[in-house]
Amino acid sequence: MTMAMIGFKKGVVKMTVFDELVKDYEIPRMLKVKQNFPRPVLDDIPQQVKKVLHESGDLNKIEKGTRVAVTAGSRGIANIGLITKEVIGVLKTAGASPFIIPAMGSHGGATSEGQTEVLEILALSESDLGVPVKSSMEVVKIGTTDDNLPVYIDKFAATEADAIVVINRIKPHTTFRGPYESGLAKMITIGLGKQVGADLCHATGPENMSSRVEVIARHILKKTNLVFGVGILENAYDETCDIVVLPGEEIMEKEPDLLHRAWQNMPQIFSKDYDVLVVDEMGKDISGTGMDPNILGRYTSDALQDEDWVQRIVVLNLTERTHGNANGIGLADICTQKAFDKMDFKKTYPNCLTTGIVLSVKTPMVMENDRQAIKAAIKTCFDMDINNVKLIRIKNTLDLDQIYISEALLPEARESSLVEFSEQEPLPFAFNDRGDLQGF
């Protein structure tokens, strides 16, 4: 059997041998239900940005004419363009001369051009923000930590800025645990440190990431004029629920409490015991690992143990905004041909080469279409009641308010305080003539 026959070549449309192998496995009838999570939300984001910046008193540290480097990351943060624009507006009103620097480790293919492109996609370009974007992968060494780690920051922040402001969402990380995960400290260490900084933090494995982020961030805070950080918190619906400003000298003290709040805001899937999870789409705009492992209960890092919530994970497609970056697809057991065809290895592999976590980019079993992929997942499960398959379908790991569940999960769902039922009856999935699912 050739590689083309089993689907690892673009344009292949027939894999009849696989259809034959899975033909006896039926996809269960499914019911769309609503999950309800607490939903605190900021109604007036511009006003909140102005309020917290002025109340913090940190603007008093910025004199007229001060050149301020403002970080812009690569995550799909809600309202990031608006929040950054407001921060820049307040800095201008204070008499500063702000400019943007991409702060995203090895993302964007680990190139200056790629990172500029990412900012354009996120509405963080020069035309969007009205200030220059100074993009470079070059860094400047500014010292060494007490345990002999070299410390680097972006060359423009080091040589053309009088002050630095960092902006980032604070939330649980997908590959490590500690008091500092995704947030301001990580933006200081890996964002400002570019690919070199990311490489340093990942060099000794995920189990040491949080401590390395802390040590390097503390050194940067000591050696630079990092005036303040703008921390963003989101609710379970991927909406901005709070914006806080931490003076540079308070970031390391107060960020752990904000991370605790972020954990409380996380969405979840109501069941922790099911057979198959179907994920309609994954991508870097959804999670740094394409699909949030904290939702899946499956991780790419040995530092975090799998929760064994699900036997098989199926990925049907990549988002358009991920631009071929399929980092995290290794979390899936099965994907479709269309998802595989969209993978751009030049966009996918730089992050893995930096982190050393190769599992996140391993290729799953590739099936011709959605129907075949879901049936293959069911067939390869062990110790499962074939007539009562526990299957869940989600759009992605961010949008969990509406999900599909199979009939076998109805008793558990009825006992859950998260789940709200409609009056509809369970129905078979609707597939088009190509064998792909109809829209979510």
Whether residue 121 contacts residue 93, with contact meaning beta carbons closer than 8 Å, is answered with: no
Its pTM stands at 0.82
Around Cβ 439, how many Cβ atoms within 10 Å?
7
Predicted confidence (pLDDT) at residue 2 exceeds the cutoff of 50:
no
Contact 178, 209 (CB under 8 A): yes
Give residue-wise pLDDT tens across range 403-426: 999 999 999 999 999 999 987 899
Long-range contact list for 144-149, CB < 8 A, 24+ apart? 145/215, 145/216, 145/219, 146/215, 147/215, 149/200, 149/212, 149/215, 149/216
In the chain, the amino acid numbered 390 is K
Domain ranges of the chain: 8-37+267-420, 45-264
Question: Per the structure block, which two tokens stand in for 291?
Answer: 């699909």
For residue 9, what pLDDT band results from cuts at 50, 70 and 90? Answer: low
Kindly state the percentage of the chain with pLDDT values over 90: 76
Q: Is the pLDDT of residue 7 over 70?
A: no
pLDDT band of residue 5 (cuts 50, 70, 90) is very low
Q: State the Cα–Cα distance between residues 406 and 404, nearest whole angstrom.
A: 7
Which pair of tokens denotes residue 233? 């918190």
285 contacts 256 by C-beta, under 8 angstroms: no
Nearest to 101 by CA among 77, 76, 78, 67: 67
pLDDT in tens, 96-118: 999 999 998 877 777 888 888 88
Whether the predicted pLDDT of 429 surpasses 90: yes
Neighbouring CB atoms inside 10 A of 197's CB total 29
Q: What is the arrangement of strands in the sheet containing 163-169, beginning at the earlier edge strand?
A: 97-102, 67-72, 163-169, 226-234, 240-247
Whole-number Å distance between alpha carbons of 157 and 142: 11
Dist. CA 134–CA 234, nearest whole Å:
28
Q: What angle do CA 67, 70, 75 make, to 5 degrees?
A: 170
Q: What is the DSSP string of 1-28?
A: --TGGGT-STT----HHHHHHHTT-PPP
- Mark 300-314 as b/e (b = at least 16 C-beta within 10 Å): bbebbeeeebbbbbb
161 phi/psi in degrees, rounded to 5: -120, 140
155 vs 121, which has greater pLDDT? 155
Q: What is the mean pLDDT of residues 319-329?
A: 93
* Cα 281 from Cα 108, distance rounded (Å): 20
Q: Is CATH 3.40.50.11440 correct for 45-264?
A: yes
- Give the sign of the dihedral formed by CA 260, CA 74, CA 321, CA 309: negative
